Amino acid sequence: MYGNAYIDPNDKATAMTAGEDPKKLEEFEARIARGEKIEPMDWMPKEYRKQLVRMIEQHGHSEIIGALPEGTWITRAPGFRRKLALMAKVQDEVGHAQLLYSAAETLGKSREAMINDLITGKSKYSNVFNYPAYTWADACIIAWLIDAGAIINQVANAKGSYGPYCRALDRICTEESFHLKYGHDNVVTLATGTPKQREMVQAALTRWWPPIMHFFGPSDKISNHTEILMRWKVKMATNDDMRQQFLNMYVPKIWDLGLTLPDENLIKNAAGKWEYTEPDWDEFKRVVNGGGPCNAERLAVRRNAEERGRWVREALNTTESKYIVPLA
Amino acid sequence: MIKSLDPRITRAEINLENTIEPLRDLDQWETYEVFHQKKRGDQHMHVGIVHAPNAEMAFIFAKEQFGRRGLSVNIWVVKTRDVYVSDYEDSDIYETVPEKNYREAGGYKVMDKINKFKKGL
């Protein structure tokens, strides 16, 4: 599971390649244009490294924090098989975080530094996880539709230019396909069930629709900045393109179940493009910046886990440990 | 204390305003490279890394991280710092002559000669 990395649209495009050796930059860009991957020890522009660290790290944090709203329902999952499946899914998400942190580490940021930036609120994670899973149906909607959004994003990014990130994403995408099927199965069970079950899944869908529309982020300004990131294959698709792809794949599946979406303007126009009410981006910014219903709880839980596990980690450590940046 | 929708979190009695010391260097230990064998007869494949305080723990984490679904019969872990690596900057060391037919099976075609020889008999 995951969300889209939040890239500050105010980053100066001209500053992105300032001070770089033009010859090395040209070779680097030619390598990417040929479809070759960049590996950790290769020369890369400072801005490429910076943007990738930010993006992969945020992705990792999203996996870790995303385990919390879903984990909410482990103790009360309806039935043994669903409990097993949900535990497996949550474990996968935490495993994804480990893979992603490792990929980001190859770019030179230590895992300690990433965790510190998460728990102090300096690093962001996907905004959707600042919303609560009120009922079992919320957990089902997350497993189906948030993971569906994540897959669209991850499949695109897996074709990016940075080798370790692509390898992590390939492994992640394979696992996400189970999450998606599991989530769909749960939603279908509720939607084809009793009137009470239908009511429950409809309510969850209505609650989650605005965060889902926020999921891919605001429209990208087509700036030089985005253009360079796309040329470097750091960003593989615009936020709007990914949102369109999501709507195209999933709105019909939602409507098939006789469920309604809380947007009267949602329609596929004659040109095959989805029209919708513009999401409330002020709300999005407010929640990204800490004002959501669960931001404080999510980070407090993370800090607690780090703090209460610290003595175990310290007891296991040996004085001869020596950190070097992982190879791949 | 947090009153959460998640009963596990409520039970853990977590203070919403908890502050903690930042993680220090090596809090997450060093890294081990993981090699995974899916089934007997296959090569062990490099699949990624784990952070661990020692080889036994690295194995336990690697089993959980890379062997929790699908097939596995064997896993190796080795400290990252013990791996000797070549540098991409030096990839010219792998450059060779463009024509290496002489060391490939396809470089040796004898049937023409044999057929010619047989006709001449």
pLDDT per position as a tens digit, B103-121: 999 889 999 999 999 998 7
Asked whether the beta carbons of residue B9 and residue A313 sit closer than 8 angstroms, the reply is no
**Is pLDDT of B55 > 60?**
yes
- Residue A147 has what pLDDT? 96
Is A8 inside a domain boundary? no
- Residue A11 has what pLDDT? 58
In which band, very low, low, confident or very high, does the pLDDT at A328 lie, cut at 50, 70 and 90?
A: confident
Which tens digit of pLDDT belongs to each residue from A296-323? 999 999 999 999 999 999 999 987 888 9
Tell me the C-alpha distance between B119 and B121, whole Å. Answer: 5
**Is pLDDT of A7 > 80?**
no
- Residue A12 has what pLDDT? 63
- Residue A10 has what pLDDT? 58
- Residue B121 has what pLDDT? 79
Which tens digit of pLDDT belongs to each residue from A237-289? 999 999 999 999 999 999 999 999 999 999 999 999 999 999 999 999 999 99
Which residue is it, tokens 């336990």?
A: B60
Could you tell me how many CB contacts below 8 A there are between chain A and chain B?
A: 121
Is B83 inside a domain boundary? yes
Is A9 inside a domain boundary? no
Give the CATH number of the domain where residue B89 resides: 3.10.20.520
**Is pLDDT of A223 > 80?**
no
- Give the range among A14-23, A72-81, A205-214, B8-17 with minimum mean pLDDT: A14-23
- Residue A146 has what pLDDT? 96
- Residue A109 has what pLDDT? 97
Structural domain of A176: 14-316
ipTM of the complex in this document:
0.90
- Residue A3 has what pLDDT? 54
Residue of A nearest to B48 (CA): A328
Which tens digit of pLDDT belongs to each residue from B56-108? 999 999 999 999 988 999 999 999 999 999 988 898 999 988 888 999 998 89
Asked whether the beta carbons of residue A72 and residue B23 sit closer than 8 angstroms, the reply is no
Which tens digit of pLDDT belongs to each residue from A146-187? 999 999 999 999 999 999 999 999 999 999 999 999 999 999
Give the CATH number of the domain where residue A72 resides: 1.20.1260.10
Is A154 inside a domain boundary? yes
**Is pLDDT of A222 > 70?**
no
Is B2 inside a domain boundary? no
Which tens digit of pLDDT belongs to each residue from A110-156? 999 999 999 999 999 999 999 999 999 999 999 999 999 999 999 99
Average pLDDT, chain A: 93
Q: Which chain B residues in 3-62 lie under 8 Å from chain A, judged by CB atoms?
A: 4-9, 12, 14-20, 22-31, 33, 46-51, 53-54, 57
Average pLDDT over every residue of A86-99: 97
Is B109 inside a domain boundary? no
- Other C-beta atoms closer than 10 Å to the C-beta of A21 total 11
CA distances from A19 to A14, A15, A24, B57, B113 (A): 11, 9, 11, 44, 63
Q: Report the number of distinct structural domains present in chain B.
A: 1
In which band, very low, low, confident or very high, does the pLDDT at A6 lie, cut at 50, 70 and 90?
A: low
Is A244 inside a domain boundary? yes
Is A327 inside a domain boundary? no
Choose among B66, B60, B81, B76: nearest CA to A327: B81
Collapse the DSSP code of A260 into the 3-class scheme (helix H, G, I; strand E, B; otherwise coil) and give the result.
coil
Asked whether the beta carbons of residue B5 and residue A134 sit closer than 8 angstroms, the reply is yes
- Residue A17 has what pLDDT? 86
Asked whether the beta carbons of residue B65 and residue A98 sit closer than 8 angstroms, the reply is yes
Is A6 inside a domain boundary? no
Residue bearing the bigger pLDDT, A8 or A275: A275
Asked whether the beta carbons of residue A323 and residue B88 sit closer than 8 angstroms, the reply is no
From A28's Cα to the closest Cα of chain B, the distance in A is 12
Is B69 inside a domain boundary? yes
- Residue B89 has what pLDDT? 85
Asked whether the beta carbons of residue A300 and residue B17 sit closer than 8 angstroms, the reply is yes
Q: Are B39 and B23 in contact (CB under 8 A)?
A: no
Of B6, B22, B80, nearest to A116 by CB-CB distance is B22
Q: Report the number of distinct structural domains present in chain A.
A: 1
In which band, very low, low, confident or very high, does the pLDDT at A5 lie, cut at 50, 70 and 90?
A: low
- Residue A156 has what pLDDT? 95
Residue of B nearest to A42 (CA): B88
Which residues of chain B does A91 touch, with a Cβ-Cβ cutoff of 8 Å? 68
From B76's Cα to the closest Cα of chain A, the distance in A is 16
Beta-bridge partner residues of B75 = B36
Residue of B nearest to A94 (CA): B65
* A195 contacts: CB under 8 Å, gap ≥ 6: none
Find the helix or strand (DSSP H, E) in which B45 lies. strand B45-52
> In chain A, where does DSSP find H-type helix?
22-33, 46-71, 80-105, 111-119, 136-141, 147-157, 163-191, 195-214, 224-231, 239-256, 281-286, 295-316
Is A328 inside a domain boundary? no
**Is pLDDT of A65 > 60?**
yes
In which band, very low, low, confident or very high, does the pLDDT at A9 lie, cut at 50, 70 and 90?
A: low
Is A165 inside a domain boundary? yes
Is B49 inside a domain boundary? yes
Structural domain of B36: 27-95
Gyration radius of chain A's alpha carbons: 20
Torsion angles phi and psi, residue A284, rounded to 5: -55, -50
Interface mutation target, options B11, B25, B27, chain A, most CBs of A under 10 Å? B27
